[in-house]
Structures are given as structure tokens and as C-alpha cells.
């Protein structure tokens, strides 16, 4: 068997940056072979790179593969980070994903190339491999976080906290939803733009990210990584992850006069007309009240005059003399 046939007969799996043999009947010992470096380049060229997904605890995540499987059937396998032990998650049969026994209540079919993993827990923090027979098509590194929440309004400045002992680290990286948004090392100056870290992060260990003029698209899950002298990044810091929510700012209400609205007869009505109507009603009520009180006072005066006793005046003009006992009754 020639070397080319030997390479094709022994598939390898790329996991977390290392190559491990798959369980295949054919064997090939390449230790010390001069073709090892060529084979490594071959694998790195044809195997799709590892993609990352960050998901909050108890949330759902969609796992998607873009490659095709000639046989039609595909498998989704979970591989632990620590000991690379694997567990079947789902099988695709006839274009439909069917969950394995341990995932029957958590894996749901979305399409021929996607599944939904629901109720994410910390044990789901692992690598997920889409395979076709013995061929690796895609690896997804799923990171489960318990986020610290930061909420700001659109246009404000957001400060996303992260603290870690900076002695011995050479740089800091920030990722949003699995994509790099900022990288800084000891020798680089302050970056231009809206995103930055504290200029004294080396002295203080304050790796917090500042986002100026926050926009709606700045919302998402942020993770802080430290970078060592070999360029390898490690997730760390406190808090481990931050969920940022950017709320849409509401415009201030404008003080505008109310437009006049047509009345029942086509006349324009507005605040001025309403005030005029109220004033006329109050004035009419006051006039009616005044008239009623005046009439009551007049009636009381008449009753008081009718109740007064008659005054007698003598006929001779002398009030002390009343001849023959006759007297004139004075008119009221």
C-alpha cells in the first residue's frame, strides 16, 4: 500500500488544537515519520477550524454544520474538554435529527444542518463534533457562562467588568458572542475607537472593557481572556462573563400646542374656546345666584314691615291729645 493510500485509510480527528486517531479498522503508525508535518498541514487545510459559541446558563443554543455527508447520515457527538470522552447527542437519519437517549428532552430538529440544544447546563460546556461516518466535518466549542448583567441606554458609556492578576500575562482579549472585539498587549498603546481597556491594566489587573456611545448592536455576551507569553489565551477573570443589554433611548416629548378640532357645526374648538365656555357658565351661575339672593332679601323686608304694630297720630296734630277718643291710624 502506498503512502497516499495509507493517509486516506486513516482519518484523524482535530480536537482543541491536537490531532487524535479515530477508531478505524485500519492503522497507521506515523510517529517519527517525515510525512507527519505534511499530514498535519493536510489536515489543517481540509478540516474546518473550530468555531465557538457562548451561551448563558439555562438558555438555548443552535448548533449548525455547513458541510455535507455523502452517505446522508450524520452524527453529533459531545467531547469533554478534560479527558476527551465522547457521548452521542443526536443522529441525522433521512435528513431528520433524532436525539440520543440522554438528550431526548433537550435536542430538537431545526433543519437538516441544525439542531437546538435547550436547557443548557454547565455539563454542556464541551466540544461538539459533527461527523459523517469516521470523517470530522465541524467542531463547535460551546462555552456555558453564568453572566453578570450590565444594562445601559443607547448612547451611554458601558463599563464591562473583568479583574485578574496581571502579573505574568502578556495581553488581554475580549470576545462578544464568540468573536474577537478587542485585543491588547503590554506593548500596544490605547486603541482608537469606542472600545478600550484601562491604560493601567498591567499595574492594577483591571481588564474591564469600556464601550463608548453604546449602540444596540453592542448588546451580547462578553467574555474576558488573558494571553500568556506563548500567545495562548485562557478564559478567566471575575466575573467570568458579562451579558450587556443596550436599551433604545426614548426621545424627549415635544411641547406643542393642541390643534383645534372641528365642532359639531364645523366650528373650530380648542383650549381657548373651552375656557371661554366655562367662564360664561360660571358668570351665568353667579348672576342667577345674585338674583335669587336679592329676591329673598326683598321678601324678608316686606314680611318684617307687615309684622310692625300700627302707629296712632292725634287729629289735632298733637300727639299727646286725642279728642273724643278718636285717633288716626298712620299709614305705614
Instruction: Count CA atoms within 13 Å of residue 277 on its CB side.
Output: 6
Mean pLDDT score across all residues of the chain: 77
- In terms of domains, do 124 and 210 share one? no
- In terms of domains, do 173 and 102 share one? no
Q: What's residue 16's pLDDT?
A: 39
- In terms of domains, do 51 and 152 share one? no
Q: What's residue 178's pLDDT?
A: 87
Q: If you compute the radius of gyration of the chain from its CA atoms, what whole number of angstroms results?
A: 46
Q: What's residue 61's pLDDT?
A: 95
Q: What's residue 7's pLDDT?
A: 35
Which cell numbers hold the place of 93?
Answer: 437519519
Longest CA pairwise span in the chain (Å)? 175
Is residue 123 in some structural domain?
Answer: yes
Query: Domain boundary residue among 145, 160, 190?
Result: 145
- In terms of domains, do 197 and 134 share one? no
More confident residue, 131 or 241: 131
- In terms of domains, do 76 and 161 share one? no
More confident residue, 3 or 280: 280
- In terms of domains, do 108 and 165 share one? no
Is residue 133 in some structural domain?
Answer: yes
- In terms of domains, do 157 and 203 share one? yes
Q: How far apart are CA 220 and CA 224, in angstroms?
A: 13
Query: Domain boundary residue among 200, 218, 247?
Result: 247
Q: What's residue 146's pLDDT?
A: 80
- In terms of domains, do 141 and 154 share one? no
| Mean per-residue pLDDT, 307-330 | 52
Angle at 249 between CA 243 and CA 252, to 5 degrees: 160
| Confidence bin at 141 (pLDDT 50/70/90) | very high
Find the domain containing 129 and state its range: 3-145
| Mean per-residue pLDDT, 219-231 | 91
Q: How far apart are CA 42 and CA 10, in angstroms?
A: 13
| Mean per-residue pLDDT, 85-91 | 94
Say whether 165 sits in a helix, a strand or coil: coil
Is residue 261 in some structural domain?
Answer: no
Q: What's residue 86's pLDDT?
A: 92
- In terms of domains, do 160 and 123 share one? no
The model's pLDDT over 151-179, given as tens digits with 9 standing for 90+, comes to 999 999 999 999 988 888 899 999 999 89
Is residue 300 in some structural domain?
Answer: no
Q: How far apart are CA 116 and CA 130, in angstroms?
A: 14
Is residue 134 in some structural domain?
Answer: yes
Instruction: Count CA atoms within 13 Å of residue 86 on its CB side.
Output: 17
| Confidence bin at 3 (pLDDT 50/70/90) | very low
**71 secondary structure, DSSP code:** T
Q: What's residue 182's pLDDT?
A: 93
Query: Domain boundary residue among 118, 145, 172?
Result: 145
Q: What's residue 231's pLDDT?
A: 86
Is residue 259 in some structural domain?
Answer: no
Is residue 200 in some structural domain?
Answer: yes
More confident residue, 130 or 292: 130
Q: What's residue 90's pLDDT?
A: 97
Which cell numbers hold the place of 72?
Answer: 446522508
Q: What's residue 1's pLDDT?
A: 42
Q: What's residue 23's pLDDT?
A: 38
Q: Is the pLDDT of residue 273 over 60?
A: yes
- In terms of domains, do 7 and 141 share one? yes
Question: Can the peptide bond before residue 239 be classed as cis, meaning omega within 30 degrees of 0?
Answer: yes
The model's pLDDT over 32-85, given as tens digits with 9 standing for 90+, comes to 444 444 444 444 444 445 778 888 888 999 999 987 887 778 999 999 987 888
Cβ contacts of 229 within 8 Å, gap of 6 or more: 168, 170
Q: What's residue 323's pLDDT?
A: 52
Q: How far apart are CA 241 and CA 222, in angstroms?
A: 6
- In terms of domains, do 15 and 128 share one? yes
Percent of the chain with pLDDT strictly greater than 70: 71
Which cell numbers hold the place of 300?
Answer: 324678608
**Which CATH number does the domain housing residue 97 bear?**
2.60.40.10
- In terms of domains, do 121 and 154 share one? no
Q: How far apart are CA 87 and CA 13, in angstroms?
A: 15
| Mean per-residue pLDDT, 271-277 | 78
Surface-to-core class of residue 154, CB atoms within 10 Å of its CB (0-12 exposed, 13-18 middle, 19+ buried): middle
Which of the listed ranges 73-82, 251-260, 271-280, 305-314 does the model predict with the highest average pLDDT?
A: 73-82
Is residue 330 in some structural domain?
Answer: no
The model's pLDDT over 12-22, given as tens digits with 9 standing for 90+, comes to 344 433 334 33
Q: What's residue 43's pLDDT?
A: 42
Is 90:76 a contact under the CB 8 Å cutoff? Answer: yes
More confident residue, 5 or 198: 198
Number of separate domains in the chain: 2
Q: Is the pLDDT of residue 127 over 60?
A: yes
Amino acid at each position: 500500500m502506498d503512502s497516499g493510500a495509507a493517509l486516506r485509510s486513516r482519518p484523524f480527528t482535530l480536537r482543541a488544537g491536537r490531532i487524535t486517531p479515530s477508531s478505524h479498522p485500519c492503522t497507521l503508525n506515523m510517529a517519527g515519520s517525515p510525512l507527519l508535518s505534511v499530514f498535519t498541514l493536510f489536515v489543517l487545510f481540509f478540516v474546518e477550524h473550530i468555531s465557538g459559541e457562548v451561551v448563558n446558563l439555562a438558555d438555548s443554543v443552535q448548533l449548525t454544520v455547513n458541510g455535507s455527508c455523502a452517505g446522508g447520515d450524520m452524527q453529533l457527538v459531545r467531547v469533554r474538554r478534560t479527558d476527551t470522552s465522547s457521548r452521542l447527542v443526536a443522529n441525522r437519519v433521512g435528513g431528520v435529527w433524532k436525539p440520543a437517549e440522554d438528550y431526548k428532552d433537550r435536542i430538537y430538529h431545526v433543519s437538516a444542518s441544525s439542531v437546538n440544544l435547550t436547557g443548557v447546563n454547565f455539563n454542556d460546556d464541551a466540544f461538539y463534533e459533527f461527523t459523517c461516518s469516521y470523517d470530522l466535518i465541524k467542531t463547535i466549542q460551546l462555552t456555558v457562562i453564568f453572566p453578570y448583567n450590565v444594562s445601559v441606554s443607547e448612547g451611554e458609556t458601558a463599563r464591562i467588568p473583568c479583574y485578574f492578576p496581571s502579573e505574568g500575562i502578556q495581553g488581554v482579549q475580549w470576545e462578544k458572542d464568540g468573536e474577537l472585539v478587542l485585543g491588547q498587549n503590554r506593548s500596544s498603546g490605547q486603541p482608537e475607537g469606542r472600545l478600550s481597556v484601562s491604560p493601567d491594566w498591567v499595574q492594577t489587573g483591571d481588564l474591564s472593557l469600556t464601550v463608548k456611545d453604546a449602540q444596540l448592536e453592542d448588546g451580547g455576551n462578553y467574555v474576558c481572556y488573558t494571553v500568556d507569553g506563548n500567545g495562548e489565551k485562557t478564559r478567566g477573570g471575575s466575573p467570568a462573563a458579562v451579558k450587556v443589554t443596550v436599551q433604545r433611548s426614548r426621545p424627549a416629548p415635544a411641547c406643542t400646542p393642541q390643534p383645534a378640532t372641528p365642532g359639531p357645526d364645523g366650528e373650530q374648538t380648542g383650549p381657548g374656546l373651552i375656557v371661554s365656555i366655562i367662564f360664561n357658565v360660571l358668570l351665568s351661575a353667579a348672576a342667577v345666584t345674585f338674583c335669587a339672593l336679592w329676591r329673598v332679601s326683598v321678601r324678608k323686608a316686606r314680611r318684617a314691615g307687615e309684622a310692625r304694630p300700627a302707629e296712632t297720630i292725634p287729629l289735632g296734630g298733637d300727639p299727646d291729645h286725642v279728642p273724643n277718643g278718636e285717633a288716626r291710624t298712620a299709614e305705614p
